[in-house]
Amino acid sequence: MTTSGTTSKGPAGGSGGRAATSRDVARAAGVSQAAVSLVLGDKWRGRVAEATAQRVRTAARELGYRPNLAARNLRLGRTRTALLVVPALTNEFFARVYTGASRVAAEHGFGVVLYPSPEGVGPARDPFDSARAALDGVIASSMASDALATIHGDELPLVMLDSDPAGSPGAAVVNLDIADGMRQVTEHLLSLGHRSLLHLASAVPSWTFDVRARALADATRGTGVSIRRVAAPLTVEGARVVTEAALTSGGPRPTALVSDDDMLAAGACKAARRLGLRVPEDLTVTGFDDLTLASAVEPELTTVRLPAEDFGEHGMRALLAVLDGERPPPVALPVNLVVRGSSAPPATH
């Protein structure tokens, strides 16, 4: 969390070594205190000339001026604290989201509290006596949206991540273009000649995984490609067990396995090895996320890279805009396919 700030001494910080004030900055920049407040509060656009704003920032920097956040927070009625609600941190993707969100928050004098659900999804214990008193707003992953009821997060300014824009409870929605990511995977596999796919889907009920299933179906419609779907827990071991069962259940073996997540893909690779299958010679395997795990397995995973830190940054910026009374339009950040060694044309025999 952030702590209340005090003004600090600068090289020209007033007589007797006192801390520089906004009045000192105004005097040094040759502007009014109101102009200083607008510039340092990042509300100057359209009200103060850009050259004037630069002069104010320069004066503040040279004087070593720091705003008194405690007084400002009392005046604004804000704690300058945001809550990031995510599933359990067994997936580094959400740690990266937090990194991006906290980076932007720090630039605006905010802190970010991370609130993971111990079970991965669903409610967790409320860490606050009063969420309304402790927080300014909430950024929540749709995978952990049930936790909002525990902390009454839907009563606070709310930005949803990976959420259906048509039915989101949030004032703003920030998404990744998941559907396009799955289309890129499918087009890659079709270009290699694969026509029999196994979709290793996440067993977690979430909008983001529903999107992947729909996109895979849409991208293969009319192509003659067969798709079999099995669901697995979001763990390497859970995916291994489900994949082994799917590959030994009889019938023609798929030539490619499309995973909803890199951890699922890693489990699929373990299952293939235990069954004496080679990746990618006997079975192509693709992932989703581009976690560190994707380049740690051998062969390295062909996967969809999701810009997790950018995702967190956009989520925090959207919350700041909501707190300023704006209603940002839905955003879908682009994703891209990273082709590595786990994908190849199907065997000809």
pLDDT tens figures, 163-210: 888 877 888 999 999 999 999 999 999 999 999 999 999 998 889 999
For the chain, give every domain's residue range: 15-75, 78-176+308-332, 178-306
Mean pLDDT of the chain: 84
How far from 168 is each of 154, 160, 220, 231, 306, CA to CA, in Å?
Answer: 11, 7, 28, 25, 21
Q: Which residues are bridge partners to 176 per DSSP?
A: 333
pLDDT tens figures, 235-253: 999 999 999 999 999 889 9
Say whether pLDDT at 93 is over 80: yes
- DSSP-assigned states of every residue in 229-277: EEEE-SSHHHHHHHHHHHHTSSSPPPSEEEESSHHHHHHHHHHHHHTT-
The fold of the 78-176+308-332 domain, in CATH, is Rossmann fold (3.40.50)
The fold of the 15-75 domain, in CATH, is 434 Repressor (Amino-terminal Domain) (1.10.260)
Per CATH, 78-176+308-332 and 178-306 having the same topology is answered yes
Say whether pLDDT at 233 is over 80: yes
Report DSSP state, residue 302: B
Return the CATH class of domain 178-306: alpha beta
Contact residues for 349 (Cβ-Cβ < 8 A; gap 6+): none
